[in-house]
Amino acid sequence: MTDNAIKIAYYDNTDSTEKRQWWQACLSDRLGPCTLVPLTEEAALSCEFALVWYPPKGRLAALDNLKVIISLGQGVDHLISDPDLPEQAAIVRLVDPDMSHALSQWVILAILDHLRDGPYYRKMAEQKRFEGRDQRQTRNLPVAVYGMGAIGLEIARRLAGLGFDVSGWSRSERQFPEPIKSAHGRTGFENLLASCDIHVCILPLTPETTHLFDSKSFAQMKKGAYFINGGRGKQVVEPDLLAAIRSGHLAGACLDVFATEPLPADHPFWEEPAITIWPHVAAQTNPDTAAAQVAAAITAAANNQPLSNLVDKKRGY
Ligand code: GLV
């Protein structure tokens, strides 16, 4: 440890020393000598900068000199939900093109696996049965992407490139590049529920998006629609999703996020063959690509300069 090293309080819920060291190396390359101090240690109390993912609630309030809290992911609900978040500290979230890339690939995988009957053919292969099914006609299939930030836009753009008829939904009115259609507000939301075959949620978790997908929303979807969640688990009323699938109204779902993570062993989703479960890995933060942004935020905060990707604490993202 160098005496004049920049000290950054660090926490990620995997408690991995290797990850912390990886970040430390990537940030030292950009900022000069840096020490990532575990947030739970006494030495973190004097840090001006924090780099965190799901930190223990109330802990950041103990850092009196804190200038900026940098989320280790794109979502910041893990911070906003802390009632004792220090007022004076700004929050910055990651907007890493590498993560948009990864998440859009995951969505494409989920959609194509469903449309090309991946689960069915894997089951057939287990039984050594070489039997085809009629291929679905998917040209111009309507797909809705709920949440059109940097990631949603990338997903929509790539899905349009694959020949889907893509609509992006945002809270307030926006226009997206051709051929992506736009929808907004409650009316736009309900129109997309009723008209699309595939629904991709990529929204940030806010009071408005909590439980947005409930029995009413699922009932408004077409029979046979497919639901994909790469946003946050709490946006879905999980028993309502299960009921919509079990009744045969929805064809199934592919989920990366859950109301409780890790998904409890006795959760009924594990038993539902029409639900594909991923353990919140659709887009993992990569220090090699994200470190430039973290370093820029630290440099700006240290020099009292404007921060990029600043979170509006009231809006929640
Ligand atoms: C992942 O869920 C993220 O918010 O980056």
Q: Which atom of ligand 1 is nearest to the CA of 283?
A: 1
| CATH code reported for the domain at 98-277 | 3.40.50.720
What is the whole-number distance in angstroms between the Cα of residue 140 and the centre of ligand 1? 30
What pLDDT, on a 0 to 100 scale, did the predictor assign at position 2?
47
Q: CB of 73 closer than 6 A to ligand 1?
A: yes
Q: Which residue has the tokens 């997206």?
A: 176
What is the whole-number distance in angstroms between the Cα of residue 73 and the centre of ligand 1? 4
**Residue of 279, 264, 228, 272 lying closest to 247 (CA atoms):** 272
Q: CB of 188 closer than 6 A to ligand 1?
A: no
Q: CB of 230 closer than 6 A to ligand 1?
A: no
Q: Which atom of ligand 1 is nearest to the CA of 75?
A: 4
In 162-254, where does DSSP find H-type helix? Answer: 185-195, 215-220, 238-246
**Correct CATH for 6-96+285-302 of 3.40.50.720, 3.40.50.620, 3.20.20.150, 1.20.58.2050:** 3.40.50.720
Give the residue numbers annotated as catalytic, written as ranges.
Answer: 232, 280
Say how far apart CA 259 and CA 252 lie, in whole Å.
Answer: 18
In the chain, where does DSSP find H-type helix? Answer: 17-31, 77-80, 97-115, 118-126, 150-161, 185-195, 215-220, 238-246, 287-302
Pocket test for ligand 1, best of 14, 54, 74 (most atoms within 8 A of CB): 74
What pLDDT, on a 0 to 100 scale, did the predictor assign at position 179?
98
Q: CB of 229 closer than 6 A to ligand 1?
A: no
Residue 49, strand partner residues: 8, 68
What does the domain layout of the chain look like in residue ranges? 6-96+285-302, 98-277
What pLDDT, on a 0 to 100 scale, did the predictor assign at position 16?
86
What is the whole-number distance in angstroms between the Cα of residue 125 and the centre of ligand 1? 34
Say how far apart CA 227 and CA 193 lie, in whole Å.
Answer: 10
What pLDDT, on a 0 to 100 scale, did the predictor assign at position 249?
98
What pLDDT, on a 0 to 100 scale, did the predictor assign at position 13?
85
CA distances from 162 to 15, 104, 261 (A): 39, 12, 32
Contacts of 28 by beta carbon, 8 Å cutoff, 6+ apart = 34
Measured by CA distance, the residue closest to atom 5 of ligand 1 is 73
pLDDT tens, 279-317?
999 999 999 999 999 999 999 999 999 999 999 999 989
Q: Which atom of ligand 1 is nearest to the CA of 73?
A: 5
Q: Where does residue 163 rank: exposed (0-12), middle (13-18), buried (19+ CB within 10 A)?
A: exposed
Residues of the chain predicted below pLDDT 50: 1-2
What pLDDT, on a 0 to 100 scale, did the predictor assign at position 3?
63
Say how far apart CA 179 and CA 187 lie, in whole Å.
Answer: 21
What is the whole-number distance in angstroms between the Cα of residue 303 and the centre of ligand 1? 28
